[in-house]
Amino acid sequence: MSALPVARPAARRAVAGRSGAGGARSGSDGRLPAAVAHLAPHLRDESEVMRPARLGATWQTRHSFARALTRTAAAGRWRIERDVWDLDADGRGEARYRVDLGDRTVHLVVRSDAIPPHERTDRVVASAWDVTAALVEGPLDAERLARLRDAIPRQEGGAFDADTLVVTRANRSARFFEAVVDRLARGLQPDPATMGHAGYVLRSTAFYGNGKLGTREWAGLPADHPLATPYRAQMLAAYLLRELSVDLVEHCAAQRAEAATRLSAAWHRHLGIGNATGLGMIPFFPRPPQILRAWTLQRELPRAAARLRQVAPGDDEVAELHDLLGRASAYWDARDGLDRTPYAPPKVLAEATRRAADEVAGYARTGAVGSDPVADGAPWRALLDWAEEHQVPEAAELISALVVELDASLDAVLEGLLDCDESQPLRPHETVGALTERIASGYAWIDAWDFAGDPEATARAWFYSADSEEPRYGPRPPGSPPPWEIPIDIAHRVWRLREDLRAWSPDTPVAAVVLAQPEHRATVARVQHLAAVPYTELHVNPIDAGFVPLDVQRAKLAAYGATNWSPQSTDWLRVTFFQGAPTRDDLAAGQDPAWAMPHRPGP
């Protein structure tokens, strides 16, 4: 399956004093920035938020990385120009895009090809792609361009300099690329029936950055750099691939027929960039717990703020939410009949958002949500409680995501949370008794599995496949964890630590435990740093026979800003990035309207 828009997490800070966008930073001890500290008592408990059913119900919000990129680009009126376009009739050749980010400029240098269909694969072990590219900063003299031309098509085999921000690649969609080119060549817009709801003609397969393949580490960007926010460079690369995909189908169509037309503005906005995601994502989550917390807070803090917000029945915000819910119900009505198993059917989501819109309309008329008047002036608290009581989790989370659309006041502070400190130095002088208390208070959730008596709780082991160069899982061998196992079984490892601590005196320093049983060192440090910090652990057990990878995959993809969830099994799914997003002309004009739940254009 494909690598996703983050190859490595933006981990430890290497730039002293930097705090990211908005000057806010969440403390590694769990303290929130002053601007949002008052929301802490109103956050949902992690026992609700971090469990599989809720993780697998999350959605893109205005604070997801893709949405934050277009908002920032529109506010800065970033200009994207196509500097070089040297392609043959089939779209083979070189292209180059210049992005003016105010006082800085970056380029996407592209090698476009048209490889045989049987060579197209999203797997990491692929050696050829239809599109390869690099997002770079700095001068593009002849010598550097020559190096890039050599390195870009080779991807992992290439040598990239430290002014390379992202290395990426994509393939033409076997289902949609030629279909769109053919329609445009005949002077027609894409056929909605043929396109379905997928909304892409290129499918990305990797976005490498933050030090991988020699790219610049995020920590090396100055604090005032427009791409200094973690993941922004990768998101910009993904957006540029989307713009390239539009240019590419229009070019190929124009080469086939003089009567060819261009995509309408509506179809241009509707086309995003495809992605397929599988098991490779799963080992990411245990490694950056503070980043996981930041991503969760980006969802939970604005939800808590919405619950407190005072909104009168006649306020514009009420009409705006009613319109958003109506748009969502129409979106899901149009998708009725699509199989989203194991997700809720479209008709369930359409009905849920329609009923929510009715509740909002009722509040505008009577000041009540449900059967009760909103006595405290906070209608969104009542609406969210109504959704939790009457709707399935996926529908309740969708309604929550739409409520969050209404408030821009937290944008800057939430971006600042992405600047995380992931260090976990061992505290050797802490006693076994204190460590045991930490496990009891912060890791009680591990007792959802019977690791001592239920073989299903430890049925799987995760490993890197030598053939595919990707994570996989298989039957777990008996006995101690195998040396080749990927250490993502946090619940099991904390349980094993707790069991072994029973043999030690409570007054013993944990240093003695670690010296005698070094296999526990990382787990001891993890518990010491995270037991009291909510949202740092997923309450899942990936080695359990019933573990469903889709739940974890969706939580991560929602943080990125993916839409159009299309499960292909319990292990992988297809999604789309930037579907409905503003075009580069829109961004240059400062336009970034809400683009959640985009409607498919007509012919």
| Complete DSSP assignment for 50-71 | TSHHHHTT----TTSHHHHHHH
Residue 473 and residue 460 in contact, taking contact as beta carbons nearer than 8 Å:
yes
- Render 311-337 in DSSP notation, one character per residue: --TTSHHHHHHHHHHHHHHHHHHHTTT
- pLDDT for the residue numbered 3: 43
The pTM (predicted TM-score) of the whole model is 0.93
24: pLDDT strictly greater than 70: no
Query: Over the stretch 129-176, which tens digit does the pLDDT of each residue have?
Result: 999 999 999 999 999 999 999 999 999 999 999 999 999 999 999 999
Q: How far apart are CA 528 and CA 520, in angstroms?
A: 12
Whole-Å CA distances, 522 to 29, 98, 419, 432, 487: 18, 45, 23, 15, 10
- pLDDT for the residue numbered 125: 65
Peptide bond into 342 cis (omega under 30): yes
Q: How far apart are CA 217 and CA 213, in angstroms?
A: 10
Residue 37 and residue 31 in contact, taking contact as beta carbons nearer than 8 Å:
yes
Q: How far apart are CA 176 and CA 167, in angstroms?
A: 24
321: pLDDT strictly greater than 80: yes
Structure tokens belonging to residue 533:
């910090």
581: pLDDT strictly greater than 90: yes
- pLDDT for the residue numbered 75: 96
CB count within 10 Å of CB 266 equals: 14
- pLDDT for the residue numbered 287: 83
Q: How far apart are CA 240 and CA 556, in angstroms?
A: 21
26: pLDDT strictly greater than 90: no
- pLDDT for the residue numbered 546: 94
Q: How far apart are CA 277 and CA 573, in angstroms?
A: 6
pLDDT-based confidence at residue 561 (cuts at 50, 70, 90)? very high
19: pLDDT strictly greater than 70: no
With a pLDDT cut of 90, the percent of the chain lying above it is 80
548: pLDDT strictly greater than 90: yes
Among 32, 55, 12, CA closest to 552? 55
10: pLDDT strictly greater than 80: no
Residue 32 and residue 39 in contact, taking contact as beta carbons nearer than 8 Å:
yes
192: pLDDT strictly greater than 70: yes
pLDDT-based confidence at residue 304 (cuts at 50, 70, 90)? very high
- pLDDT for the residue numbered 464: 87
Burial of 320 (0-12, 13-18, 19+ CB in 10 A): middle
- pLDDT for the residue numbered 14: 30
pLDDT, mean over the chain: 92
Partnered with residue 134 across adjacent β-strands are: 109, 167
Look at the block and give the residue holding tokens 């819109």: 357
- Render 486-520 in DSSP notation, one character per residue: -S--HHHHHHHHHHHHTTS-TTSBHHHHHHH-GGG
> Backbone phi, then psi, for 358, in 5-degree steps?
-65, -40
Query: Over the stretch 410-439, which tens digit does the pLDDT of each residue have?
Result: 999 999 999 888 889 999 999 999 999 999
Q: How far apart are CA 553 and CA 11, in angstroms?
A: 20
Residue 99 and residue 83 in contact, taking contact as beta carbons nearer than 8 Å:
no
Q: How far apart are CA 3 and CA 454, in angstroms?
A: 34
pLDDT-based confidence at residue 219 (cuts at 50, 70, 90)? confident
pLDDT-based confidence at residue 278 (cuts at 50, 70, 90)? confident
- pLDDT for the residue numbered 348: 97
Among 117, 12, 29, CA closest to 534? 29
Structure tokens belonging to residue 30:
């769990």
Mean pLDDT of 378-385: 98
> Backbone phi, then psi, for 494, in 5-degree steps?
-65, -40
18: pLDDT strictly greater than 80: no
Residue 499 and residue 492 in contact, taking contact as beta carbons nearer than 8 Å:
no
With a pLDDT cut of 70, the percent of the chain lying above it is 95
Mean pLDDT of 112-128: 82
Structure tokens belonging to residue 578:
């930037």
251: pLDDT strictly greater than 60: yes
pLDDT-based confidence at residue 8 (cuts at 50, 70, 90)? very low
- pLDDT for the residue numbered 9: 36
User: Could you tell me if residue 345 is left (phi over 0), alpha (psi between -120 and 50 degrees) or otherwise beta?
Assistant: beta
- pLDDT for the residue numbered 28: 66
337: pLDDT strictly greater than 50: yes
Residue 325 and residue 357 in contact, taking contact as beta carbons nearer than 8 Å:
yes
> Backbone phi, then psi, for 19, in 5-degree steps?
-130, 10
Residue 353 and residue 321 in contact, taking contact as beta carbons nearer than 8 Å:
no
- pLDDT for the residue numbered 23: 41
- pLDDT for the residue numbered 553: 94
Mean pLDDT of 247-273: 97
- pLDDT for the residue numbered 371: 87
- pLDDT for the residue numbered 197: 86
Backbone Cα Rg of the chain: 25
